[in-house]
Amino acid sequence: MDITHSTAPGIGVVHHVHTQEGHVLSVVHHHDGRRTLLVYDAAPDAADPDRPAKTIDLDGGEADQLADLLHSRSVAERLAAIERALADRVDGRPR
């Protein structure tokens, strides 16, 4: 995934995302705390690849909930799971 950032004067910060599969989207962090998701049509025959095909406005709470859904486990959580599995194997307990 390739992520770049730019400032939109008077609006906030725009994070441009290009996925490994070729999808393009942006996340706008507005100065007032709102977030806007912009989803682009990355097809070669798209009428205007710079114009979002879909715009989704989220308030701060909605953005937090969506972030929780998308967030993978932290490194500490993953390491703890590995340590538990290793301890179970050493102790002879099933995983």
Q: What is the pTM of this model?
A: 0.70
pLDDT in tens, the chain (95 residues): 999 999 999 999 999 999 999 999 999 999 999 999 999 987 778 788 889 999 999 998 999 899 888 888 777 888 888 898 888 888 776 55
pLDDT value, residue 93? 63
pLDDT at 32: 92
Is the distance from CB of 41 to CB of 54 less than 8 angstroms?
no
- The confidence score (pLDDT) of residue 76 equals 82
Tally the C-alpha atoms within 13 A of residue 11's C-alpha that lie toward its C-beta. Answer: 12
Residue 37 phi, psi (nearest 5): -95, 130
pLDDT of residue 2: 96
Q: What whole-number distance in Å separates Cα of residue 29 and Cα of residue 52? A: 16
